[in-house]
Amino acid sequence: DTEVTQTPKHLVMGMTNKKSLKCEQHMGHRAMYWYKQKAKKPPELMFVYSYEKLSINESVPSRFSPECPNSSLLNLHLHALQPEDSALYLCASSQDRLGDTQYFGPGTRLTVL
Amino acid sequence: ELKVEQNPLFLSMQEGKNYTIYCNYSTTSDRLYWYRQDPGKSLESLFVLLSNGAVKQEGRLMASLDTKARLSTLHITAAVHDLSATYFCAGINAGGTSYGKLTFGQGTILTVHP
């Protein structure tokens, strides 16, 4: 089973709202990732968690706040977003950071009004 | 910092024809990945190439890796409409603070028409 699940599938929020994206995997993977993808562009890495610790933060604005409550779950908390943050947010996981294949979830399509 | 470039960025193919997508990368990458993305969907892993000379095939797609030339290719044989998608190659940063970070190419939008 190589499934990564994400909820919600779609999210519309105002600039003053607080919302969270959720990602879950049950493959025993110890590395989890958040990516942002704009239309017709490649995914851009936002955060990497390795063994539940934040390993990489790609200089993401503080209005995005990641959280890894346990090895199977990854959240992305959103607050005071801007319209330009509208994008597809993809979660991925891999066995660890050492170059194993990353498996992607279906994504959350976020629209910020 | 690893940079990955694909070409062509747009590829319109006739069914039954062959073509190759090229992926060049700038510095050492431990591995090279190919992903497929259908419109509005997530990324599907196609191949991971681990070493120089590696060749992998799945159906009408064949990927290869030349680490000396820092080049990977994705060859499409006898294209069919179902192959229409965006194809990304990605390298992985081998060290430093970005260890394990995937860097994607721009993507190749492939359209197969009758």
Helices (H), ranges, chain A: none
Q: How far is A105 from A4, CA to CA, in rounded Å?
A: 5
The answer to whether A56 contacts B97, with C-beta atoms less than 8 Å apart, is: yes
Rg (CA), chain B: 14
What is the distance in angstroms between the Cα of A112 and the nearest Cα belonging to chain B? 18
- Residue of chain B nearest A92, judged by CA positions: B43
Give residue-wise pLDDT tens across range A9-63: 999 999 999 999 999 999 999 999 999 999 999 999 999 999 999 998 999 999 9
Contact (CB, 8 A) for B15 and B74: no
Region of A95 on the Ramachandran plot (φ > 0 left; ψ -120 to 50 alpha; else beta)? alpha
Out of A58, A99, A109, the one facing B100 most closely (by C-beta) is A99
| Model pLDDT, residue A97 | 67
Q: How far is A51 from A94, CA to CA, in rounded Å?
A: 11
The answer to whether A101 contacts B99, with C-beta atoms less than 8 Å apart, is: no
Contact (CB, 8 A) for B94 and B29: yes
- Residue of chain B nearest A39, judged by CA positions: B40
| Model pLDDT, residue A45 | 93
Give residue-wise pLDDT tens across range B102-113: 899 999 999 999
- Residue of chain B nearest A109, judged by CA positions: B40
Q: Summarize the confidence of residues B24-30 as an average pLDDT.
A: 83
Confidence of residue B19 (pLDDT cuts 50, 70, 90): very high
Interface A–B counts its CB contacts (< 8 A) at 55
Tokens representing residue A73 in the block: 């779950």
Give residue-wise pLDDT tens across range A41-55: 999 999 999 999 999
Give residue-wise pLDDT tens across range B58-69: 999 999 999 899
